[in-house]
Structure 1
Amino acid sequence: MERKQIVKTVSEHFGVKAQYLGVPSFAYEIRTEEQTYTIDREGKIVNERGRAIELRDVLNRKEGESAEEEIPRLGAEETTTSAPYEIPLPLESHDGRALRNILNMIYSKQELIKKSLGLAGNLIEEDFITAINAASIITLEDFNNHATEIGLEKVSGITLDFLKDEMTIELPKESAGAEELFTLICKLAQKQKCASYKSKATTNEKYTFRTWLLRLGMIGDDYKEARRELLKNLSGNGAFKGGAAHEA
């Protein structure tokens, strides 16, 4: 079972919302009246004492034998369906301008993001990003009103849930590198007064994208695997702006 389904199952079982912890753990935390569960990036469930627990055991704490039938059923469904991989990103601490910054930053590198993550379609359409930047936006309510008027269907790869203060990125498959990428975008978007949505053509995809990843804060050994994952599908040379090393 994929991690997103594990998080959803535990969250719905206890009737509480899972909290995404972001960098550096990229784990989810689910707090109940009796226990706190952490679900790591590999989908392992750990209780507040640090002990690993099977999903079946977590569910049996409350539902008893009914969970015996539910878990195999969920597993069987997953073998016959291919649901998108979802990356939920909290917006509680963002205002409307920060949310627009997030979309601008994504749109400005959309073509490279699509190739990096194997996306067939756009996350954000051009007419949406142009219109949302022409609007006067300060609060999330401002953004919601204008985005609804423009058409949220034009942001087909991103779900904006203003009731839950959450946005969700949908990908064709699980990607730890993508989780780190979008989390860092959200963090930087809060700090910037404004971010441009304009994109620039490049003849060296890896160098352009790698430079951008470093500006986002994806620096050092902690992000080594994430950078490798995000750059592997791009053309060019990440170390040399011209695309290749020149011999002396």
Structure 2
Amino acid sequence: MEINFNVHGKQRKKLVEQIAEYTQQRAEYQYTPTYAYQIGKYTVSKDGNLLSPDEIPAELVTYLKQQGFTSSETVKLNITYRRNELTDQDLDNLRHLIWAKGQSIKDACQLNSLSLTIDDQRVSFDWFTEVNTDDAPAYQQLIDKLVQYAKSHQRIMSTPRDESNEKYAFRCFLLRLGFIGPQYKTQRKVLLKNLTGSAAFKNQEA
């Protein structure tokens, strides 16, 4: 995940210091060619972007805002898993799952494609360019739950189907993935808001 704070010079150094204080991690300057700072798992680039291999906690963003650092309203999502975390069967399951629910996922997240980049080291989801800051955690959790679902099933052989009520069908799919309970209310709202139909009733005339 990447958040742009657009700070340079002394302000960037102050941002690094605040992140180090919040995380209780030492900041290490990386010198050429990146000129970035490394603070534990976090990186602050030379352009003042905060990067993390996974989700950046909202609490950290709020803390930085209280210190005077305001992020842009959009963030870049760079979602990557280590290749050795997934077996070949896991990847087959993931491909089938994405293929079966691909159109609904694209509609829900307003995406043009659902491409995966796979090499010997990593599996990358090249889905998002820039997304709204408030929506980013829901999109990240969707991908994580897709991966966990693929890993927890021996074999997935799903096929696409036409849904007369896309919102209801996708809500049921989210529940199958584990978006259950009040703790996922916000995520469900984000992931259903761009779909047509009724989330409450299978038949829209109900």
User: By the TM > 0.5 criterion, same fold?
Assistant: yes
In structure 2, the residue corresponding to 1:74 is in which secondary structure?
A: coil
Is 1:104–1:195's contact at 8 Å kept on the other side of the alignment?
yes
1:203 Cα shift?
Answer: 1.1
Structure 1 alignment gaps of length 5 or more: 6-43, 77-81, 124-156
Is 2:2–2:76's contact at 8 Å kept on the other side of the alignment?
no
In structure 1, the residue corresponding to 2:81 is in which secondary structure?
A: strand
1:93 Cα shift?
Answer: 3.2
Larger Cα Rg: Structure 1 or Structure 2?
Answer: 1
1:67 Cα shift?
Answer: 6.0
Identity of aligned residues (%): 28
Which residue of structure 2 lines up, in the alignment, with residue 171 of structure 1? 128
Query: In the aligned structure 1, how far is the partner of 2:103 from the partner of 2:195?
Result: 11
Which residue of structure 2 lines up, in the alignment, with residue 107 of structure 1? 99
Query: In the aligned structure 2, how far is the partner of 1:210 from the partner of 1:98?
Result: 23
In structure 2, the residue corresponding to 1:239 is in which secondary structure?
A: coil
1:75 Cα shift?
Answer: 4.0
1:73 Cα shift?
Answer: 4.7
Q: 2:168 aligns with which of 207, 222, 239?
A: 207
Matches within 5 A, 1:1-20: 2-3=2-3
Q: 1:180 aligns with which of 120, 141, 144?
A: 141
Is 2:80–2:122's contact at 8 Å kept on the other side of the alignment?
no
1:173 Cα shift?
Answer: 2.2
Deviations 1:21-60 (A, max 9, x none): xxxxxxxxxxxxxxxxxxxxxxx94x6xxx41699x8244
Query: In the aligned structure 2, how far is the partner of 1:93 from the partner of 1:171?
Result: 22
Query: In the aligned structure 1, how far is the partner of 2:175 from the partner of 2:201?
Result: 15
1:119 Cα shift?
Answer: 1.0
User: Which residue type is aligned with residue 183 of structure 2?
Assistant: D
Q: 1:88 aligns with which of 57, 71, 80?
A: 80
Q: 1:74 to 1:204 in 2, by over 3 A?
A: same
Q: 2:187 aligns with which of 208, 214, 226?
A: 226
User: Which residue type is aligned with residue 107 of structure 1?
Assistant: W
1:235 Cα shift?
Answer: 0.3
* Root-mean-square deviation over aligned CA pairs: 3.4
Structure 2 alignment gaps of length 5 or more: 6-17, 38-43, 50-73
Q: 1:189 aligns with which of 150, 160, 166?
A: 150
Deviations 1:168-218 (A, max 9, x none): 343132421121111111111112121124111011111000000101111
Query: In the aligned structure 1, how far is the partner of 2:46 from the partner of 2:83?
Result: 33
Tell me the TM-score normalized by structure 1: 0.54
Which residue of structure 2 lines up, in the alignment, with residue 243 of structure 1? 204
Is 1:204–1:237's contact at 8 Å kept on the other side of the alignment?
yes
Query: In the aligned structure 2, how far is the partner of 1:2 from the partner of 1:85?
Result: 6
Tell me the TM-score normalized by structure 2: 0.64
1:110 Cα shift?
Answer: 0.6
Is structure 2 residue 111 aligned with structure 1 residue 119?
Answer: yes
Is structure 2 residue 116 aligned with structure 1 residue 158?
Answer: yes
Q: Tell me how many residue pairs correspond in the alignment.
A: 158
Kindly indicate which of the two structures has a greater share of residues assigned to helix: 1
In structure 1, the residue corresponding to 2:155 is in which secondary structure?
A: coil
In structure 1, the residue corresponding to 2:47 is in which secondary structure?
A: helix
In structure 2, the residue corresponding to 1:170 is in which secondary structure?
A: coil
Which residue of structure 1 lines up, in the alignment, with residue 47 of structure 2? 74
Deviations 1:84-138 (A, max 9, x none): 5321133423211111101110111111111111112x32xxxxxxxxxxxxxxx
